[in-house]
Structure formats: structure tokens, C-alpha cells
Amino acid sequence: MGKTIIEKIIESHSDKSVKPDDIVDVTIDGRAARDFGGANVVKNIREHDLQIADPAKTYFTFDCNPGGSDQKYSMNQHICRLFARTNNIHVYDINEGIGTHVAIEQGLITPGDTFISTDSHANIMGAIGAFGQGMGDVDTAAAWASGKIWFKVPPTAKVILKGTPGQYARAKDMTLAILRETGANGLLGYAAEVYGDIVDDLGLAGRITISSMNTEMGGIILLFPPNKEVIDFCSIASGKSISPVYADDDARYEKEIVVNIESLKPMISLPGHPEDVVEVESLPETKLDSAFIGSCTNGRYEDMVEAARILNGRLVAPGVVLKIVPATDNVWKKCLETGIIEIFKNAGALVGNAGCAGCANGQIGQSGEGEITVSTGNRNFAGKQGKGKVYLASPATVAASAVSGVITTAEHILAKPRLFSPAEITMKKKSKLAEKKAAHENDTVIRGRVWVIREDNIDTDMIFHNRYLAITDFDEMGQYTFDNLKGWEDFSERVKPGDIVVTGKNFGAGSSRQQAVDCFKSLGVSLIIARSFGAIYERNAINAGMPIMISDLAETNIENEQEIEVDLETGDIENLTTGDKTKGQPFSDVQMEIYQRGGLLV
């Protein structure tokens, strides 16, 4: 039986034959930590007296807050710089741009390589046929110290793009079409490969756009077989000969997803859910307050060119703010050299220095309560980029909307922009501080009171919002748990040490932030039971020694504040209040070992 791309890459980096569900130690070619996660990586390295395995393959990338405009971000960056100086680690500092893009531009990662970062969109590496994975602080520290990390070989899905998109559709529109087909968890736990007549002609920028949103599909990574453009780009960037990895003709795929893009029109994601995708033309007239072009999804030079083509000779609509952030300094400089920056400024746009922008809550791109924004970003979870409502679309659609004052397409730019009327703003009360300790640490049988949250796709911004990312104090985290999940904002005030959370599918979707696990430990929550977990979240919980179990318990008649008993070794679950019994997935040997030790680094 032949191998898929992901299987070949992992196999070549583990020196053993692999198949789906095997757990192997994978050698990592590039190991990066960002500014918000980097300080925690340093803390883990120091607390456990670890050494850096290979400084030449280890990097800091400061892309979340390039301006250092937040005191905690600035302190974290300073901690990382000091550590880098004493350990001969290269810092791609605040002037460089998004770390994953820098890794490709600088030739740090090439087709067939492996890469990890404290960035949940490290799977952008799939755009060049490499393996990239976002990981938490503990995982990253372990990889820095050993040069490798354990990984479960995922099954592979095949995504086939069928047909030719319409005249005004771009890579982002194809991405949203795939996301509409897969939903938020249709690729959960899968690596995916993309094929179709249009794929070989798709440039690096378009591949980056599609690969970057695999996280929003629940996937591990979305890989493109490298074409000539990608091979040439990576060869020049790295200064070495490239040996791309391709799937065998008889490779086995667990499932096949066909996405019809024939005559595809410009698409848009509705606020709150990237997967809630419709045609732009189907929207009722929607007045804009602001627009954003950039992010790791659409911050390439080609994206800037697309926006400039529409903005050239036009002005941003009165009262609308257009914010533009190129992905890297190289993109910024090229825009300057070719006159694109001048076009942006003449149109009335605010141009920021290269970086992640509002997606990481550390730069321009945030929105106020009641604000309507159309963005080229990859996430529009409630509260992700402020208190406003965020639509996701292509650079062409965003630029056209910015000059029209309403959401529209490049085909239907208004001759005269719409004006807007004032909107009311309401404020939200924050929860109180809770200082609680874990009640059942390391027990293999856990008994506790349950809180049942019958929702799927609870993302990390709902669990622990990105405005708190700079918090590293364990005892401070608990108070913010679920304060961005509607109906559960007061969870930290209701929960008691030893309580158990029961929920639905894809719990912990989204970011790689470790705090979304640690906040539960801070509150003393003894166990989280879900139908499935986001891939990064599952790793973070296991590595932190936080008990999690996969089970359909939320689908039973269980109710809040009933008491249950759970055996982590057997998966047996008993409702002590009703006497009902069900099963969960027992801990694997790896999970149990890490749990009993109290964490991966202990």
C-alpha cells in the first residue's frame, strides 16, 4: 500500500514505517515560538533546567504585537530576547512579519520538512508541501530541548476542487467554498491533500490562503503537492536543491471531499462562524464601519496587488476605516517599491507594519462593540477581533466594500458610497477573580459534579479570550474561563474544585493558546469530557496533565450538577445520581503516563 504526503514526511522524520494512528517521535526541522507564547516556552525551559538541542533550528518570531504597544507583550518579547542572546537563538524581531511566512520566505522550511510554532496556523506549511503544526508552550519547549516531539499519524483525506471558478472568484473564495463543504470540524483529526484541475496553476499566495484556513476546518494540515512555482521559490529562498514529496499513486485516503467550484462567485463568512459561508450577492445591504486586509491568510504581495487594483483612483467611503497590514517586511518593501503603499495612502487607508494584525489582539485590526467589519482574516469568532461583527472575504471583496461603504464585490462597486448612521454601544461586565486548587490531581478514578454545555465547536476564544493572552500567572487565569461563551460568562463563579465539564464536538477549536487548558486547572476542574477535541487543544491538555476524555456523554440525559464517576483506565462512566452508565475512550498509554507524571516536562 502506497503512502500519502503526510505519511511520507513523518516516516522520513521518524526513521520507521508509519500508518494512521501510530504514535511516533518526529524530528522537527524548524522550531519557532512567538512573542506571546515565547515567554512561556522560556519559563518551561528554565523551570525544568533544559538545554536547547539545536539553536540553528530554533527561532523566536515576534509577529503578534510588532509595535510592542502592550506592556505585557513588550515584557514577553524582552524575556525572549534575553534568552536568545544567551542561547544563540535567532530572533525574527518586530520588523520581520508573520513567523510562518518568514520561515517560507527565508527558506528555513522547504517541501518535505517539518515545522512547529506556537501559532495554530503553522499548518500554512502545507502550501509548500511541508508539515507544519501549531503547538502549545509545553510541546514547543520539549521540541526545543530534544529536537523532536511525539505525534499521532493522522489519516489523510483527499479534497478535490472540481471545475473552474468564475471571473471574480479568488483563492479566498475557493477557501470559503471548501470550508462551507467541510464545516468547522469536517476535517477534524485529518491531514488533507488538495487536487483538481485548477490546483497546479494555483500560485504560492493562493496556496497559503487555502492552507491557512485548514485550522478553521478542524484539520491537522492541508497539503498541496508542490508545483514548479513553489519548488523554484523554495529553491531560491533556501539556496539548496529541493526534493518535493508527493503521494504514491496507490496511497490510501480515508475519505474524499469533492468541492464544486464551477463558476464560483465571491463568497463571504457570516459573523461568528467562518464555516457559515454564503455568496456575497445574497447578503442584504450591509453598512460597513471598517475593513481589514492582511493576516497570514491574505497578507501576501499578490493580495496587496489585488486590493490596490480596486483602490487605485478611489477613496475609502466616508466614515469607514480601512486597515492594511502586509504579512512580512519583504512584502511591505515590495509594495513600497512598486507604488502600492502610495495607492493605499491616497485612498485613505491606514497601513501598519508587517505582522499578524488584529487576529492576535496585538496590532491594528480590532473592532469596537457594534462595529461591522469585513476582513480577509481567517477567524471571525465572537470577540476574536474585538466586540464587533466580522465578515470574512477576499481582498478584492474587502477593497470593493471599503470604497462602497457596504459589503459588495469587485463587480458591483457603487458609484457613490453609502453613508452610515450612528450605532449604540453597550458594555459587558467582567467576572470576579477565583483562586481554586485542583481536587483530584492524578487520580485514575475521578468523581465530581458536572456542568453540561451542549454545544459543538466551542473555540479557544470562547474558553479563554485572546485579550488575556499575555497572562502567564496560573492563578490569574481561572477567572476568565468561558467569559466569552454566551450563557456561561459566570462559570468561574459557579464552578467548584473537583467539578467536571461535559460538552460536544470539537471542543477547543481554534488557537494554540495553553491558557485555554490552564484556566480549568486554575479553577480546580478535575476532568473535561467531550465528543471530540480540537487537535491542538487535545495535545495541550494531555501535555499539561489535564484529564480529558472522549465520550458521547453530552448526548445522554445527564443534567447540570449531577454527580458522576469516571475511570480513566477503562473509560467507564457512571451517573451516581441516576445510576445510568456509559463509556468513554480510555486513556492511551502515552496520555496516562503524562497524566501520572503531572505533565510532559515533569
Query: Locate cell 463543504: which residue?
Result: 181
State the pLDDT confidence band at 443, using cuts at 50, 70 and 90. Answer: confident
State the pLDDT confidence band at 435, using cuts at 50, 70 and 90. Answer: very low
CB 320 within 8 A of CB 288: yes
Residue 157's SS3 state is strand
Among the residue ranges 102-106, 257-261, 597-601, the one predicted with the least confidence is 597-601
CATH superfamily of 268-412: Aconitase, domain 3 (3.30.499.10)
What's the alpha-carbon Rg for the chain, to the nearest Å?
23
Whether the per-residue pLDDT at 70 is higher than 80: the answer is no
Query: Locate cell 457559515: which residue?
Result: 276
Handedness of CA 287, 290, 295, 299 (dihedral sign): positive
- Predicted local distance difference test score (pLDDT) of residue 466: 85
Greater model confidence, 443 or 321: 321
Residue 500's SS3 state is strand
The DSSP bridge partners found for residue 372 are 389
Find the mean pLDDT for residues 554-579.
96
Find the mean pLDDT for residues 296-300.
94
- Predicted local distance difference test score (pLDDT) of residue 387: 78
Whether the per-residue pLDDT at 426 is higher than 50: the answer is no
State the pLDDT confidence band at 472, using cuts at 50, 70 and 90. Answer: confident
Domains 5-260 and 268-412 alike in fold: yes
- Look up residue 431 and give its three cell numbers: 467576572
Q: Which of 3.30.70.2500, 3.90.1150.10, 3.20.19.10, 3.40.50.300 is the CATH number of 445-597?
A: 3.20.19.10
State the pLDDT confidence band at 68, using cuts at 50, 70 and 90. Answer: low
Whether the per-residue pLDDT at 425 is higher than 50: the answer is no
Burial of 569 (0-12, 13-18, 19+ CB in 10 A): exposed
Whether the per-residue pLDDT at 429 is higher than 70: the answer is no
- Predicted local distance difference test score (pLDDT) of residue 360: 65
- Look up residue 83 and give its three cell numbers: 534568552
CB 562 within 8 A of CB 577: yes
- Look up residue 353 and give its three cell numbers: 507594519
Quick: pLDDT tens for 567-584.
999 999 999 999 999 999
Whether the per-residue pLDDT at 420 is higher than 70: the answer is no
**Which one, of 66, 267, 98, lies nearest residue 173 by Cα?**
267
Return the domain boundaries, the chain: 5-260, 268-412, 445-597
Residue 583's SS3 state is strand
Residue 35's SS3 state is helix
**Buried/exposed code over 335-350 (b: 16+ C-beta within 10 A; e: otherwise):** beeeebbebbeebbbb
- Predicted local distance difference test score (pLDDT) of residue 147: 97
- Predicted local distance difference test score (pLDDT) of residue 357: 81
Chain-wide mean pLDDT for the chain? Answer: 92
- Three-state SS across 46-83? HHCCCCCCCHHHEEEECCCCCCCCCHHHHHHHHHHHHH
Whether the per-residue pLDDT at 177 is higher than 50: the answer is yes
CB 71 within 8 A of CB 100: no
Fold of 5-260: Aconitase; domain 3 (3.30.499)
Residue 350's SS3 state is strand
State the pLDDT confidence band at 433, using cuts at 50, 70 and 90. Answer: very low
Whether the per-residue pLDDT at 480 is higher than 80: the answer is yes
- Predicted local distance difference test score (pLDDT) of residue 376: 94
